[in-house]
Structure 1
Amino acid sequence: MLAVLMLGVVLVAWAVVSRRAQRYSVTVPIAMAASGLILTSGSHPLVDVEVTGPVVRHLVELTLAFVLFTDATDISMRWLKEQRGVPIRMLLIAFPLTVLLGFLAGVPLLPGAGWWVCAIIGAVLAATDSTPILPMLHDDRLPAGTRHTITVVSGLDDGLAAPLVLLMLAGALATVDVQSVLIELLIALIAGVVVGVGGAKLITMARHLRWSTVEAERVGVLALAITAFSAAEVLHGNGFVAAFVAGIATRATAPGMPRSSLQTVEDFSTVLSAAVWFVFGSLIVPAFMDGLEWRVFVYAFLSLTLIRMLPVALSLLGTHLPWRERWALGFWGPRGLDSMVLGIIALEQLSGLDADWVADVVVVVISLSILVHGLSARYFARWWLHGPRTRRHPPREPAADVS
Structure 2
Amino acid sequence: MPAFIVVLSLLFLWSLVSRRLARWSITAPIAFVVAGIVLTRGPHPAVPFDLDAHSFEVAVEIVLAVMLFMDATEARDYERLGRSVGEGRLLGIALPASVALATVLGALVFPGTSWWLLAVAALVVMPVDLAPIAGFLRDARVPLRVRAALNIEGGFNDGLISPLFLFCVANLATAHGSTFAELLWSVVKGALLAVVIGSLLGAGAAWLVRRARDDGWARPAALRTASLVLPFLAYAVATTAGGNGFVAAFVTGLWYATTAHAIAGDNLGLVHEVSELMALAVWFTLGKVATDAFADGVSARVVLYGLLALTVARLAPVMASLTGTDLPRTERWAVAWLGSRGVTSIVFALLAYIQLPPDESDFIVQVMCTTVLLSVALHGITQEPVARWFARAPQSAT
* TM-score strictly above 0.5: yes
Range with greater deviation from structure 2 (365-374 or 284-293): 284-293
Q: Secondary structure at the residue paired with 2:266?
A: helix
CA distance in 2, matches of 1:179, 1:131: 32
Instruction: Report the equivalent of 1:378.
Output: 384
Instruction: Report the equivalent of 2:197.
Output: 191
Report if the CA contact (8 A) 1:52-1:347 is conserved: no
Structure 1 stretches lacking a partner, 5+ long: 393-403
1:97 and 2:97 matched: yes
CA distance in 2, matches of 1:181, 1:80: 34
Instruction: Report the equivalent of 1:401.
Output: none
Report if the CA contact (8 A) 1:113-1:353 is conserved: no
Q: CA RMSD in A?
A: 2.3
Report if the CA contact (8 A) 2:334-2:386 is conserved: no
Instruction: Report the equivalent of 2:84.
Output: 84
Instruction: Report the equivalent of 1:232.
Output: 238
The Cα of 1:25 is off from its aligned counterpart by: 1.7
Instruction: Report the equivalent of 1:310.
Output: 316
1:117 and 2:134 matched: no
Q: Secondary structure at the residue paired with 2:41?
A: coil
The 1:275–1:233 alpha-carbon spacing in structure 2 relative to 1, beyond 3 Å, is same
The 1:128–1:304 alpha-carbon spacing in structure 2 relative to 1, beyond 3 Å, is same
1:65-91 per-residue CA deviation (whole Å, 9 max, x = no partner) reads: 111111111122872883336111101
Report if the CA contact (8 A) 2:353-2:361 is conserved: yes
Instruction: Report the equivalent of 2:15.
Output: 15
1:153-195 per-residue CA deviation (whole Å, 9 max, x = no partner) reads: 2122122233332332222211433333222111111000000
1:312-347 per-residue CA deviation (whole Å, 9 max, x = no partner) reads: 112112211222222221111011122122222222
Runs of 4 or more consecutive aligned structure 1 residues displaced over 4 Å after TM superposition: 252-255
Within 5 Å, which residues of 2 pair with 1:104-183? Answer: 104-111=104-111, 113-174=113-174, 175=178, 176-177=180-181, 178-183=184-189
Within 5 Å, which residues of 2 pair with 1:3-402? Answer: 3-76=3-76, 79=79, 82-84=82-84, 86-111=86-111, 113-174=113-174, 175=178, 176-177=180-181, 178-252=184-258, 255-258=261-264, 260-383=266-389, 385=390, 387=392
Report if the CA contact (8 A) 2:128-2:339 is conserved: yes
Number of residue pairs matched by the alignment:
391
1:1-32 per-residue CA deviation (whole Å, 9 max, x = no partner) reads: 12111111111111121111111121111111
Report if the CA contact (8 A) 1:136-1:381 is conserved: yes
CA distance in 1, matches of 2:285, 2:379: 20
The 1:62–1:136 alpha-carbon spacing in structure 2 relative to 1, beyond 3 Å, is closer
Report if the CA contact (8 A) 2:201-2:252 is conserved: yes
Q: Secondary structure at the residue paired with 2:380?
A: helix
The 1:293–1:334 alpha-carbon spacing in structure 2 relative to 1, beyond 3 Å, is same
CA distance in 2, matches of 1:53, 1:136: 32
Range with greater deviation from structure 2 (231-240 or 286-295): 286-295
CA distance in 1, matches of 2:88, 2:77: 11
Structure 2 stretches lacking a partner, 5+ long: none
Which amino acid counterpart does residue 379 of structure 2 have in structure 1?
A: H
The Cα of 1:42 is off from its aligned counterpart by: 1.8
Report if the CA contact (8 A) 2:36-2:288 is conserved: yes
The 1:360–1:386 alpha-carbon spacing in structure 2 relative to 1, beyond 3 Å, is same
TM-score by length of 1: 0.90
Report if the CA contact (8 A) 2:75-2:148 is conserved: no
Q: Secondary structure at the residue paired with 1:173?
A: helix
Report if the CA contact (8 A) 2:197-2:234 is conserved: yes
CA distance in 1, matches of 2:388, 2:229: 40
